[in-house]
Amino acid sequence: MNETEQKLRNEARTLLEQGRVDCIIGYETGSLKFTTTPLITKDKDDTDRLVINPFVVNNLSVFLSDVDGKAGIVAKGCDSRSIVSLIQDQQVAREDVVIIGVPCSGVIDLDKIEKLIGKDRDELDDIAWDGDKAVVTIGGAKKEFPAKEVLMDDCLSCDMPAPKEYDILLEEVGPLVCDNELSRSRIKELEEMSPEQRWEFWENEFSRCIRCYACRQVCPACFCKRCFVEETEPQWISPLPKWQDNLIFQAVRMIHVAGRCTDCGECQRACPVNIPLRSLSKKMEEIVDELFQYKAGTDKDTPPLMAAYESEEAEDFIR
């Protein structure tokens, strides 16, 4: 256990003991190698299981609407932006949440490690940071990879690794490896395609969507109690997993989360059939920034982007 984890456990325990929160939402060690899993608890003794490591992938703000009372929540930079966005949308009251900000130097993308090594994650012995290199141990041999080869794409373009909105900040954020160009390399490939090629690309990708809705369920910006896909009177899209309907579902979802999406990357990570959803959400985030100079979840006191209108606002989005 490292120093940050000890501090986190102490803070979480104190919050529960002092009755400042009713529950804690954090991470504990998962049941598989290199995983963590959400820990949602009211029991102060459970706080001894809290961890912080390079595998804290989940955006825990998605659980805020599930819990009763006040919640103490562990948040990386992107997660804290999701919380702020939920506050802007009045889904969470600021006074009902105690944000425990944690340092984040980016989380490790196990898919990338698997590709680099040619082995599955459960066949590896260890993955650890050594400065700005990830050291992977397999069968006693060690292999080193520069951070930018193993970090999640969304982490590579992260410019707010430290939570801006917090109640407790555990420690200053470590050095962050950024490479925006690498982070958006798949988007660039798509931008360079002709519309016909892009259409064909997405037809292929959405042909294997099974409509499990994991992308929606792990997304904190998808907070609607009723989603258009489940409406039957009238029916907006077919519940059958035809690629056209799959695409429409995702396109509408993306537009609904415009101005709320913080590029936490959870939709893409959760997808069991590897649809590169972040190529849509990141692009959309860029468009929002370009047209409205707006970054989701950075100021809890401004109205949500899509709920506000100013007369001098750009209208060239109609094109």
Partner 1 sequence: MKKVKKQEIQKLLSQWQQEFTVFVPSRENGVAEMVVWDGQDTGFLEWYRNTVVPPKENFLLNMEKMFDFHKADGNYSLEPTPAEDRKQLIFGIRPCDARAISIIDMVFKDAYEDTYYLSRRENAVLVGMGCLNPYDSCFCTSLGLGPAEATDVDLMLTDIGDYFLIEEITDKGKELLAKAEGIEEATKDDENRAGEVKDAAVQKVTRKIDVGEIEKRLPASFDNEEFWEKISAKCVSCGICTFLCPTCYCFDINDEMLKGDGARYRNWDSCSFPLYTQMPMENPREEKWRRVRQKVHHKYSFYPMLFDVIACTGCGRCIRLCPVNWDITQTLSGLPAEAPAGTEK
Element containing residue 94 per DSSP (H, E): none
Q: DSSP secondary-structure letter at 304? A: P
Choose, by CB under 8 A, the member of 17, 66, 144, 289 that binds partner 1.
66
CA-CA-CA-CA torsion sign (160, 270, 260, 112): positive
Q: Which strands make up the sheet holding 141-146, listed edge to edge?
A: 126-130, 133-138, 141-146
Our CB check for partner 1 shows the closer of 91 and 207 to be: 207
The one segment of 38-46, 186-194, 247-255, 287-295 that binds partner 1 by CB under 8 A: 38-46
Residue 37 or 298 having the CB closest to partner 1: 37
Min dist CB 207 to partner 1, Å, is 8
Pick between residue 39 and residue 108 the one whose CB is nearest to partner 1.
39
User: What are the counts of helices (DSSP H) followed by strands (DSSP E) for the chain?
Assistant: 12, 8
Measured from the CB of residue 55, what is the shortest distance to partner 1 in angstroms?
10
| Widest Cα–Cα separation across the chain | 64
- For position 240 contacting partner 1 by CB under 8 A, the verdict is yes
Cβ of residue 57: shortest distance to partner 1, in angstroms? 8
Q: Which span sits near partner 1 by CB under 8 A: 1-9, 182-190, 273-281, 288-296?
A: 273-281
* Nearest distance from C-beta of residue 298 to partner 1, angstroms: 25
Q: Rounded to whole angstroms, how far apart are CA atoms 43 and 23?
A: 8
Q: Is 148 in the site for partner 1 (CB under 8 A)?
A: no
274 touches partner 1 (CB under 8 A): yes
Q: CA 126, CA 22: separation in Å to the nearest integer? A: 36
SS3 content of the chain, % helix, strand, coil (to 5): 40, 15, 45
Nearest to 299 by CA among 164, 118, 188, 189: 164
Enter the tokens of residue 257. Answer: 């989360």
Question: Of residues 11, 51, 58, 108, which one binds partner 1 by CB under 8 A?
Answer: 58
Position 122 contacts partner 1 (CB under 8 A) = yes
Binding mask 178-217 for partner 1 (x = CB under 8 A): --------------------------xx-xx-xxxxx-xx
8 Å CB contact between 105 and 149: no
| Options 36-44, 71-79, 183-191, 303-311: segment touching partner 1 (CB under 8 A) | 36-44
Exposure on the CB side of residue 123, measured as CA atoms within 13 A: 7
**Chain-centroid distance, C-alpha 64:** 14
Residues within the interface to partner 1 (CB under 8 A): 30-33, 35-41, 58, 62-63, 66, 120, 122-123, 204-205, 207-208, 210-214, 216-218, 230, 238-242, 266, 269-270, 272-275
